[in-house]
Amino acid sequence: MADQSIPKARTPGTVPGETEAAPAGEGISRRRLLGTAGATGLVLGTAGAAVGYAAAPSDAAAPLTSLGTGRAMFHGKHQPGITDGLQARGHLVAFDLTAGAGRKEAAALLRRWSQTARRLMAGEPSPHDDTDVARDAGPSSLTITFGFGHSFFGRTGLEKQRPSALDPLPEFSSDHLDKNRSNGDLWVQIGANDALVAFHALRAIQKDAGAAARVRWQMNGFNRSPGATAHPMTARNLMGQIDGTRNPKPSEADFDQRIFVPEKGDPAWMANGSYAVVRRIRMLLDDWEKLSVKAQEDVIGRRKSDGAALSGGTETTAMDLEKTDAKGNLVVPINAHARITRPDQNGGAAMLRRPFSFHDGIDPDGVPDAGLLFICWQADPLRGFVPVQRKLDRGDALSQFIRHESSGLFAVPGGAAEGEYVGQKLLEG
């Protein structure tokens, strides 16, 4: 829920090196459809912009919509799913290695997972018993990201390779953590702009785990679909607030320094990687919605309508922390969430937040189980997430309307080069 939050939605194909038209293939199949896709840009603000196509056998396959043709690349300097634009559907899943599984089995698993991720992200079937769930769809900006938890290194005899940045997070006063839905040996993040494509990837990853690993916990999330608004804009969370105005941007000179481990960092296998903090944050929506809009804005420190700071201007206008009203009161309250989370109020601490909203039904007492699957990326969580969360613990006005219910910290290595699998430098180094 920090002020530096959700990245703006990106039109597929507008960021060089991140998306491209899907490759051609053979037969009246998913590959054939990808090869005949005609539209590569996302149409925004047009009613009925999505174009359907016939599924009946034909020699002339109709084109996919632009939403389906968006493609993220598996191989690269960094893993996908970190700087890519928000996706409409997400799945987070943690695995524990099974009894008897060690470094050898983990290496074989990451090799299988990487092969599957590469194929699915290219819009191709899974290499192992594909279920055909996504047969008729394009890649839909699918990303699959892999990380290692603190316990993974003890299970595989790699304790000496465990980064100090992966030390367990401290306890926070707002924590109400369910240990069964926290941590894990391995973590996988899946995102796509089509729900079936995302589920297909989740099922493939689960099946690939085989006898080497079992699911520890799994969570489902969503965001607004790209193109759902008249123009690209910062996303809203389930509290109705614009959330993500001050997120670090790749165009900033110090972005890589804040988010990614240096190429000559320690340990060497984490070069170009990042650390992901994952928190399931339940929003107490019934209590929140009882507040007036003015009260909600005072809690956040920004206008609900357009995300502008209460000190004035537009969404991107710098917040004036010293501005007072006619009575001499601070316009942005001293305990406003946006004030507390500003990097310049936290020694420059910065995180790239890329979360999903969640809704897991209605409790027996009628209360929605809904909130934020918080995911933030940083080069070092002890300099990124931890100092900000400690400060929030000491007096954030938002704290009485949220509850942290699960937590995890994962080391996410750099991207795999052609012919490599994710984590190979760790597991075979």
H or E element, residue 110: helix 103-121
Per the residue annotation, which of 243, 256, 298, 396 is the catalytic one?
243
Q: How many Cβ atoms sit within 10 Å of the Cβ of residue 381?
A: 25
Residue 86's nearest CA partner among 229, 239, 191 is 191
Q: What is the CA radius of gyration of the chain?
A: 22
The Cα 151–Cα 141 span in angstroms is: 31
Could you tell me if 4 and 343 are in contact, meaning their C-beta atoms sit under 8 angstroms apart?
yes
Bridge-partner residues for 407, per DSSP?
Answer: 279
Instruction: Supply 2's token pair.
Output: 């920090």
Q: Which of 39, 55, 37, 355 is nearest to 227 (CA)?
A: 39
Backbone angles phi, psi at 217, to 5 degrees: -155, 160
CA dist., res. 60 & res. 55, Å (int):
11
| Residues contacting 314, CB < 8 A, separation 6+ | 306, 308
Q: Which of 33, 86, 31, 81 is nearest to 189 (CA)?
A: 81
| Distance, CA of 32 to CA of 25 (rounded, Å) | 5
The tokens 């070092």 sit on which residue?
Answer: 380
Tokens of residue 246, six digits:
């001050």
Q: Show the beta-strand stretches assigned E in 100-231.
A: 143-149, 186-192, 213-222
243 is catalytic: yes
Q: Answer yes or no: are the C-beta atoms of 277 and 408 closer than 8 Å.
A: yes
Q: Catalytic residue positions?
A: 243
